[in-house]
Amino acid sequence: MPAPAPASSPAIAESPQERERAWADVIAKWKTLILLSFDLRVSQYEEDIRKNESQRSFPGWNFNTFFMLKEGLARGFESVGLVEDALLGYDELSVGLDTVIRDQAKDDTQGGVILSYSEDLYEKASHVLEQVQEEGSTAHNLHDDKPISAHKKDYRDLILNNNISVFDFRSYVLRETATSSLPFTRYSKDATSGSSGKSLSFGGRGREQKLQVSEQKSMIHPSRSSSLNHGRSSAEPPYAQPTAASQVVFDNGHYNDRPAPTQESTLPQSKNGLQELAGTRAQLVVVQRRVLEQVGKALGWNIGWAAVLSGTDDHEELSDVDLEEDEKSTTDEVASDDEKPSKLATPTSGISASALLSAASSIEQFRQAYEGLSDLIVKHYMAAGQNKSAESVLGDLAALRFELGDFAAASAYFGRMASLFAESRWNTVETTMLKMHSQCLKKLNRKDEYVRTLLDLLAKSAASRMSFKTTSRRADANDISDMPRDWLNDDKVDTVGIFNELIAFSQQLPYDVTVKMPKYFGDIMVEPYVRHYDERDGFQLRLQFRHILEDEIEIKSAKVRLVSADSSQIKDVWLESSNPLKLKKGLTKMWLGCNVNTIGPYMVDKIMLEAKRIVFVHEPFTKAEASTPLGIITSVSAHSLKAAKKARILCFPRVESFNARIYLSHSIHIDKTRHIEIECTSGWNEITHAEVRLKSASAGLRLRSANASVASGNVSIADKTKPGVVTIGPLSADSSATLKIPYDMETILQDLNIKIEVDYFTEHGQSKYFSSCTIPVDLPLDVNVHDHFKQDTLLSKFNIKTANHIPLQLFGVNLESSGEFQVQAAQRSRAPSYVFAKQPVAITYKIEKKATEVTERRKSKSTATGSLALSVEYRCLNEDVQDRLGEKFKSDVAQGPAHRLGRLLTDTFVHRLEHKILPHQYERIALLEKVDMGAFEDMDWSECVDSLPEVIRPDTQAWLQKWHEVSKVEHQRRYKTLTKYDTVQ
């Protein structure tokens, strides 16, 4: 029989899910065991660290032992991927090292003694000193290797043996921190946890949290933000937040690559890692360039701004001196001077870097290396988005190019930095840069840019001086300090000779360069009081300004433009200096004159100083004030009412000067062309000839100057062919002449606005008179006719009444007979009568047809019909009163102390009389034959008196007040013979 088969159980098949769960269970157990081991190790480290920390105050406590324990904990964190915790540990060690070094400096040696220098570096330095003392020794063997390296020393062994220096200790901490930071460049950030992808999680997470936020009693050192993390929490990777803006600012030969703590970063918040890398590399290259600068300085080679500022830094170091100290201090100072180390014979001794040796071989190699590093810094800063830092380095390149004589490249660099100058603080560096830029432009023969650069330089200097002067006044007023401030003023720059250079060079320009005057001069103003010439027509104004800069310059001419504050007068007045002026530093006052004869309020619109091709312009009123809300630009006179009254200048001529007046012709024929009359009074001027220019300011008014004629006076018309211009011949002094000019209107106008300008020539030259006037053309009377027809006669009743509320003086009414009609009038008094608004005058005429024969009748038909014309001779009461009172006031002023102000006071008196005193009392004047002049205050003399110089104000005001008291009521005679009256036909 066959042997029975052995009994066996069938194989159990595992599903994939079961195998996955089994592997997961195994991995979880391994993790648990590993983390338990790590947790146990961390707990042991923490216990040892706490025990060592508690012994800090005991004698014999050693910081090196504490450092090794703390570093072991950091290495443990790093081994499992907790890089943030490792970096935090190294930061705490760095703080502890700083504390120990400070205690050691205070003679508190608790924690062990850390060497102040490294033995190997000391030996190498001693060997270098020994070799350089030997004549002709170059010590080539020292140049084969780098003397400082973070990887060729066993720093841990030096720490354990208590034989490490401060420099080596810091190098080791820096090396370990950099090594721990390397995983951040390889692993991406976990968005949920904020930790590295290599970080492991374990069950004892609570202990990890304990390490981050520990109790105060268990903290080894005060926790601080990592120098690599820039203040972020330990749970954030270093690229979670952007770093602060690292801007290198050059200031008087020194760099400051750390911005102020309160300075906000100008970089965009969303900054990528490439920009951070570029910015950090730029800072490293800046350090490299500083080392190169120090090597060059040791060799006596100044480069960049150091070479430029070497000749401008004249400030001495100031120190406090104790006058009561004994002679021992002097002895100590001498001893300290003797202890100063002697200067090396070979400045490049001990340099191991081949790049530095190559750069130090010659000045050309030195400049080439410096330029290469600067260009590399600019490129990195531009890639990092730090434009301001890049522009500051461009200044070094510009200075280097200037030193090498490459003015085109230097000018290009300076041009790129123009925007930086406009926003930066003004100091000596910027002054020197502008001077260098101007020299480059002059070498390149770029005249326009050269002139404008010098102007910018002078403007900066003047602004600095004005601001410093204001600050000094404020300090003197408060009596803060008596210390001299010149040496504290960094903004005070030397611009001697630049102003003269600018003025002289401007002659080469083909055009004028206009700049703003307040940038270069201060205290600019025009005194608002006119002064008349003693022998001719015209007036003067005094201009004052303060010359701030040092140079004495020559001003070819000074000009002031006045614009009328009255909308009816648009003619400008230019005042100009008679001779060139030499300007010196300080306050300058000069008289500007003109040959203009006018009256009215004006304002200063423009002040100009011409120095060859440079024109300094100041406009007190900006153009923005001359625009309406709709953006429509108006004339200056339209917005001048908003200006302060003290800014206005009341111009007026002398009593003896030329005068002209325009009015309607006294003889008016309704059916014929009307005329205006121009009365010209020569005054004290012996006029050889004059040109009268008329300009219509009313739409539809045509002045027919070609038909002008002489109405009265001993004068002749020399030329009237030019439109609007009438030239007259000689006119003797103290004489007058009247011109008669016809006009017509395209439309019905109530007033005629006419501007007149007279150019008259005397032995003193040409003078001008201009004015504007408004002439009412509406007749002040109306005539209505009522006819009653009879069989053989016609009775015509003429009703004459006023067209307004002003009474009329009626001198005569006449209806003359014609060749065909016979007119008979009723008997009436020849004395003048008044016509009131509610009391017209009625005159009746009897008209009969003349008996004529047949032959005469045929002649009359062949010639003309027999027309009748009514002639009315009248005068308006307002014109009568104004003329009489004006003549009386004029004569009284001429006999008083204010006779030189006769034209101004008379014109103001008539104007106030017309608009304030008379309108409501014309009927009373006609009936009572007297005028109530009112009090001094009613006439409103304040504006006129305030425009006068302060010297003559009291006397003028006193005389006006006295005149009003004496002439408060002026009697008028009804039948006084009148010189002129109007005739209407």
333-372 confidence digits (pLDDT tens): 444 444 444 444 566 666 767 778 788 888 888 888 998 9
Sign of CA dihedral 147, 148, 151, 154: positive
Indicate the burial class of 449 (C-beta count within 10 angstroms; 0-12, 13-18, 19 or more).
middle
Same domain, 160 and 182: yes
Report residues of the chain scoring pLDDT below 50: 137, 139-144, 187-268, 314-331, 333-344, 475-490, 624-626, 636-641, 862-863, 974-979
799 and 711 together in one domain: no
Query: Is residue 816 situated within a structural domain?
Result: yes
Nearest to 916 by CA among 898, 890, 937: 937
CB–CB of 577/590 below 8 Å?
A: yes
Distance between CA atoms of residues 90 and 87, nearest Å: 5
Q: Are 716 and 785 in contact (CB under 8 A)?
A: no
Share of the chain above pLDDT 70, in %: 72
Question: Taking a C-beta distance cutoff of 8 angstroms, is the pair 606, 622 a contact?
Answer: no
- CATH number of the CATH domain containing 766: 2.60.40.2430
Q: Which of 776, 805, 838 is the last residue of a domain?
A: 776
Whether residue 730 is found in the same domain as residue 861 = no
Q: Minimal CA–CA distance to 532: which of 588, 595, 579?
A: 595
- Does residue 683 share a domain with residue 578? no
Domain assignment of residue 249, yes or no: no
Domain co-membership, 529 together with 593 = yes
3-state DSSP call for residue 587?
strand
Total count of residues recorded for the chain? 985
788, 726: one domain: no
Q: What pLDDT score was predicted for residue 376?
A: 94
Domain count, the chain: 4
pLDDT computed for residue 545 by the predictor = 94
Last residue in a domain, options 241, 276, 311: 241
Gap between the Cα atoms of 529 and 648, Å rounded: 9
Cα separation, 590 vs 540, whole angstroms: 10
Phi-psi region of 58 (alpha: psi -120 to 50; beta: other; left: phi over 0): beta
Are 641 and 689 within one domain? no
888-920 pLDDT, tens digit per residue, is 899 999 988 888 888 999 998 888 888 776 767
What local confidence, expressed as pLDDT, does residue 363 receive?
87
Per-residue pLDDT at 10: 64
> Degrees (nearest 5) of the Cα angle 340, 343, 345?
155
Domain presence at residue 947: yes
The token pair that represents 122 in the structure block:
């000391």
Check residue 681 and give its pLDDT: 93
**Per residue in 230-259, is it b (16+ CB within 10 Å) or e — as a string?**
eebebeebbbeebbebbbbebeeeebeeeb
Same domain, yes or no: 811 and 904: yes
The phi and psi torsions of 762 (rounded to 5 degrees) equal: -130, -175
pLDDT for res 41: 81
Chain position carrying tokens 């947790």: 39
User: Which letter does DSSP use for residue 978 in this model?
Assistant: P
Can you give the residue range of the structural domain that contains 53? 20-241
In a domain, 38, yes or no: yes
**The predicted structure's pLDDT at residue 330:** 45
